Amino acid sequence: MRAQAKSRLTPRERLARGLTYSAVGPLDVTRGVVGLGVHSAQATASGLHRRYREGRLAHVVAAAHEAVAQELAAAQEVVTSLPQALQEARRSQRRSKRPLLIAGVVVAVLAGGGAAFSILRRSSRAEPSPRPPSVDVQPLP
């Protein structure tokens, strides 16, 4: 007995298979082409979007960089003018007579307070009585 591994197709099965593959083949090719086109379009759009964001980000970074540069320039001007401002402040302090006035007022208040204290203390002392003491005072042995 002979065993055949492959069974022979009938003409009807052969025709059905041919039509199936001939119909599915171009459909697969078309689906593959459309799929590649869609994927390519998505990749292109993604790249364009990324470049747009990077470009916009570059503008934002450039604007921030310029703002920081302006702030540094302003700070540098302030630092440069600081010694002159300190010198002017010292000059204005030297010319001021206010500290001398305050010191004079403090000295006058202290002197007046001292004089008032001594006057009050003297007036609060009891004057010695003209009478002799009622109790004999004896020194302790």
- Domain residue ranges in the chain: 11-124
Taking residues 100-104, report their average pLDDT.
84
Following DSSP, what letter does each residue of 13-51 receive, concatenated? Answer: HHHHHHHHHHHHHHHHHHHHHHHHHHHHHHHHHHHHHHH
> Which carries the bigger pLDDT value, residue 50 or residue 23?
50
Distance CA 97, CA 85 (A): 21
Taking residues 28-50, report their average pLDDT.
82
Q: Helices in 1-141 by DSSP H: which ranges?
A: 11-95, 98-124
In this predicted structure, which of 21-30, 76-85, 103-112 has the lowest mean pLDDT? 21-30
Q: Which two tokens stand for residue 71?
A: 């702030």
Q: What is the pLDDT of residue 69?
A: 87
Q: Which range scores top for mean pLDDT: 12-16, 32-36, 59-63?
A: 59-63
Distance CA 89, CA 92 (A): 5
In this predicted structure, which of 19-23, 71-75, 106-110 has the lowest mean pLDDT? 19-23
Distance CA 75, CA 89 (A): 20
Q: How far is CA 40 from CA 35, 37, 47, 51, 52, in A?
A: 8, 5, 11, 16, 18
Banded pLDDT at 95 (limits 50, 70, 90): low
